[in-house]
Structure 1
Amino acid sequence: MLMFFFLVVALAVVVAAVTLAVVGGGESAPLPEAAPERLQDPLPVDRPVGRTDVESLRFPLAPRGYRMADVDDALGRLAAELGERDARIADLESALAGARAAAAHERHGRPDKTEGPEDQR
């Protein structure tokens, strides 16, 4: 029985020593704060975002997935650029349709529909 008691006390001392060593109960300096991971290769700010920029975009992992701020920033930037491109495409398609209509009117010798009665004199 005495041997069992000695083993239990020895085990408790070993567990306490290991716990103190892991937790840092000594006089050693505490670990420095780790800087949070940030997006290393953000989307370019000096030019429009291209297909290769989106394909190479990688978000750093956080304890529960990805950092929400990094993902929100990237998605906001992509949404803004896609909106600008959609508006530009709509403007160009409208200009192209107008140019085609004007060319068709010139070929057939018809007056343009935008002219009023006073313009046809």
Structure 2
Amino acid sequence: MTLVLLYLVVLVLVGIVLFAVGSVLFGRGEVLPPLPQGTTATVLPASGVTGADVDAVKFTQTLRGYKTGEVDWVLDRLGREIDSLRGELDAVRAAHGVEDASLGDAQGAHALPPEYARDDT
């Protein structure tokens, strides 16, 4: 029994020595500083957001999903971009005297294309 205990102690000591040598030789590598509080690695361009930009958005995962602050930021940013684009579109339509077809149409902009429309005849 003493021999087994001696082998176990020697094995633990060898493990400690190997770990110490590996730590000295390889170190911990380059340590990156943490992001400042209140910032995120989630990015979107300042204007002209495209579908590819939205597809490239990555959120930091937390224990219960994604960081709500990052998701809220992206949604707010996309909302402002959509509002800006709709404002520009309205200005162009007004400048050219084009009436918004979806306002006068009873079905509105959410109507299905004709190829998907249901034929009840």
Normalised by the length of structure 1, the TM-score is 0.44
Larger of the two Rg values belongs to structure = 1
Normalised by the length of structure 2, the TM-score is 0.44
